Structure 1
Amino acid sequence: MRKTYCIIIFSLTFGGAFAQNVASINGKPVDSKEFMWVYKKNHSGSANATFKELEEYLDLYLNFKLKVLDAIEMGFDKDTAYLTEIKNYETALRTRKKISGTKATYSMIMNEYRDAVLMFNISELKVWDKAQNDENQLRDFYTRNRNFYKEGSFDEVKGKVITDYQEVLEKEWVNVLRTKYPVKVYKEELKKLAKL
């Protein structure tokens, strides 16, 4: 069973203006305006968030962007199927009448889709397929964590074992990425966005 992820995006420049950044990944800024656009989009348009809520969401956002960066480093963004999918989405987006007219919004929507597809594709390789298709690793994980599955045999609890193994694989992957790509959070900028 695949996990559902919030579709989120990374930074871009708004009309040449210098926006404040809430973080950076591997030296690349994470723009405050775009981060809040993503936050509101995934929280029913609400911008009323405490510092703690924004900090927790930023952590998820940064993990997402680390996965996207890993996909780019592995060349996923040059894959023919990926490029075709992005082109088709862009064509469909341009034909929609209801899309917001600003270039910044259009760019954010396109970046969001590009990143989401990259994240999905690399997660499939690094987490989902490993957990579902490697029966030996799955049985080994079940055996090592047998005390958590007292309610049944491997075959009876296989779905839960897959889900748990996916979580472990993802956590290990993110830990490696956070070591490989330096992440800095600018808490003072994040505080400016929070509602007390």
Structure 2
Amino acid sequence: MRKTYCIIIFSLTFASAFAQNVASINGKPVGSKEFMWVYQKNHYGAGNAAFKELEDYLNLYLNFKLKVLDAIEMGFDKDTAYLTEIKNYEAALRSRKKISNSKATYSMIMNEYRNAVLMFNISEIKVWDKSQSDENQLRDFYEKNKGFYKESSFEDVKGKVITDYQEVLEKEWVDTLRKKYPVKIYQEELRKLAKL
């Protein structure tokens, strides 16, 4: 009887922990608390959001996390310049009198910063440098999509072409990452977070 009771408690605890996740990437959970902290931080503390708005933001957040995962797979988290930057940021954060309300918040702030730097570093290589370093590829993209630029010359719309090309490179990169690392969204848990 006691063994059965323990198994039931364990099962309920595991199910409860699992239900607290809004998604998973490659089997690793993305917690509701983490997601809502990021959502509210980037929406000026707003806690009321419709399901569709949360779903759209979750997909953006998952794309961000996929890029971070790619950076880690490529060893960017071991780079000495990266490690020094993180160490300096943490020292600056700790020197503030009010760093956070709790250890959990402090941990989320540090995690967000680590991930943001990784995402920035890998995006620079995979998207931004690529779109500006190869003039031939950029001109080729312009020629294939000339109709979108209203008969303007390449030189006149080069900035727009770079931006558009970056969007294409990023979309292709994210599509590749979503194929490489399975992503699951737990719709029911996300619905629980929606207020409207």
Alignment match, 2:97: 97
Q: Which has the greater radius of gyration?
A: 2
Alignment match, 1:77: 77
* Residue 99 (structure 1) shift: 1.6
Partners of 1:115 and 1:161 in 2: CA distance: 28
Moved over 6 A (4+): none
2:146 is aligned with 1:124: no
Structure 1 segment 168-179 matched on structure 2, within 5 A: 168-179=168-179
Specify the SS of the correspondent of 1:189: helix
TM-score (norm 1): 0.90
TM-score (norm 2): 0.90
Partners of 1:150 and 1:50 in 2: CA distance: 37
Partners of 1:177 and 1:111 in 2: CA distance: 21
Unpaired runs of at least 5, structure 1:
1-16
* Residue 101 (structure 1) shift: 3.5
1:114-156 deviation digits (Å, cap 9, x = unpaired): 0000000000000000001110100000011111112411111
Specify the SS of the correspondent of 2:152: coil
1:46-76 deviation digits (Å, cap 9, x = unpaired): 1000111100000000000000000000000
Q: AA paired with 1:47?
A: G
1:9-30 deviation digits (Å, cap 9, x = unpaired): xxxxxxxx94700000001000
Give the fraction of aligned pairs with identical amino acids, expressed as a percent. Answer: 82
Partners of 1:160 and 1:105 in 2: CA distance: 39
Alignment match, 2:39: 39
Unpaired runs of at least 5, structure 2:
1-15
2:160 is aligned with 1:152: no
Specify the SS of the correspondent of 1:105: helix
Q: AA paired with 1:25?
A: I
Q: AA paired with 1:186?
A: Y
After superposition, the CA RMSD in angstroms is 1.1
Partners of 1:101 and 1:147 in 2: CA distance: 53
User: Which has the larger helix fraction?
Assistant: 2
Alignment match, 1:27: 27
1:84-104 deviation digits (Å, cap 9, x = unpaired): 000000000000112214110
